[in-house]
A and B are shown apart, each in its own frame.
Chain A
Amino acid sequence: MPLIRPFGLPEFWIIVMAAKWTVALSAIAFAGGGLGGLLIALGRVSDSKWLRGLATGFIRLFQGTPLLMQLFLVFFGMNILGLAINPWIAAAVALTLHASAFLGEIWRGCIEAVPSGQREAATALGLRYVNRMRYVVLPQASRIAVAPTVGFLVQLIKGTSLAAIIGFTELTRQGQIINNATFSPFMVFGTVAAVYFVLCWPLSVLARRMEFRFSRATER
């Protein structure tokens, strides 16, 4: 058996199949980031100065540092806290925090885009905070939010590639492994890039279409 194996169909499929870990990590980060982002967004528009400050600080921190550093800090931070090093958990936690910050800021804008008269009308009807948000503000904000949220999802999927550096075997890391065996970097990373493109491009198209539909729907 030669030391360097050729890049063939089996290698191609190994890379393609690794996409499922990219998808899984993206899904976890997106779900966690969705929940965290909602809390951050609500904190940002809260009446409480403390909550606003806390949410703003969180956003500044995660928007002002590279995702790679966030991954490193969570990864090595877990070690310092005495937890076993686990790339899965580290990547999921770091990406969830990252997504929470970005989605929080995106959704804050969407909440604030709902005219203040809507909140006032709900308040005047006697609806309290939770019902006001749940039935009046958030349904309207979510319509505005769909396009930028899908747009961010694309960024998030591409961002998961950085998890390769802390040893999480997803699409990019699998590419590196195959490349180490085949030494055909152009073929390998061309394949990796193509898989990312197949994942992201339809979402980009979807986001653009939603944006278009929304801009038409708001023309009155």
Chain B
Amino acid sequence: MTGIAAADITGSSDLAVQMEGVNKWYGAFHALKNIELSVRRGERIVICGPSGSGKSTLIRCINQLETIRDGRIVVDGHDLTAGGKNVDLVRQETGMVFQQFNLFPHMTVLENCTLAPMKVRGIARVEAEKTARAFLERVRIPEQAEKYPAQLSGGQQQRVAIARALCMNPKIMLFDEPTSALDPEMVKEVLDTMIDLAKEGMTMLCVTHEMGFARQVADRVIFMDRGEILEMDTPDAFFGNPKNERLKTFLGQIS
């Protein structure tokens, strides 16, 4: 955290996300403890850990849905600690998919997908709709464009949520337990969509307990507990040779 290191990361580096000494508190609860994490462009990171371990909080700090007490977060060269305009820029370049989908229920699928491109980027409706339909095609639900979210299944809603995020043409995608609220038979369709995205080279940070997905697409897997990153390694080493005791217990419980 010297001045030189700081200068390095704000430049045009190949880092998508850089977190340095990040601490987050909810009142007296220390939610994130000295988080150090660098994510290269195109890298796929899976974050797992028991509930309340801070994994969702961590990715929510990246687009400033949560503010941090101290430390530094740089996303795509924009220092979030500088606030203001940088936060807006980062949010525009970062897509997020939530556990509860959070589609706008009063808008059709197409309107969900065109709102931000039109209002944030100022793209004309015709073009925004064209882009939206193309992404709905990619998540394999083009025929649902005129429907309302409540008329879709959970898996379809989550795929719309992914398409909605992609319509902003983000450089980084954040997934916060995207399959946890889904019925088991719908998990696969959402994971397949995410795998497609990973194959296309999208930078991704996923909080998920889908270990099959982690093995298949992750470049690195992170284990968090009680607000700390306890292990960070390639899937092979992470699952094949876990070093941390709490990780061993965790892996034993979920498999």
Contacts and interface: CB of A to CB of B under 8 A. Distances in A.
B135 to A, nearest CB: 14
A117 interface: yes
Contacts of A120: 65, 98, 102
A141 to B, nearest CB: 10
A128 interface: yes
B119 A127 contact: yes
Interface residues of B, number: 25
A126 B168 contact: yes
Contacts of A63: none
B104 A123 contact: no
A135 B116 CA distance: 10
Contact of A124 (B91, B100, B115): B91
A110 to B, nearest CB: 14
A131 B65 contact: no
A220 B161 CA distance: 19
Interface string B221-241: 000000000000000000000
A123 to B, nearest CB: 6
Interface string A98-124: 000000000000000001011011111
A125 B100 contact: no
B98 A126 contact: no
Contacts of B116: 122, 125-127
Given A120-B102, A131-B120, A143-B106, A125 B88 contact: no
A128 B88 contact: yes
Contacts of B65: 120, 123-124
Nearest first, the 4 closest Cβ-Cβ pairs linking A and B are: A121-B102, A125-B116, A124-B96, A126-B92
Interface of B: 63, 65, 88, 91-92, 94-96, 98, 100, 102-106, 115-116, 119-120, 150, 161, 164-165, 168, 174
10 contacts: A121-B104, A124-B65, A124-B95, A125-B91, A125-B115, A131-B119, A139-B106, A140-B105, A143-B106, A220-B150
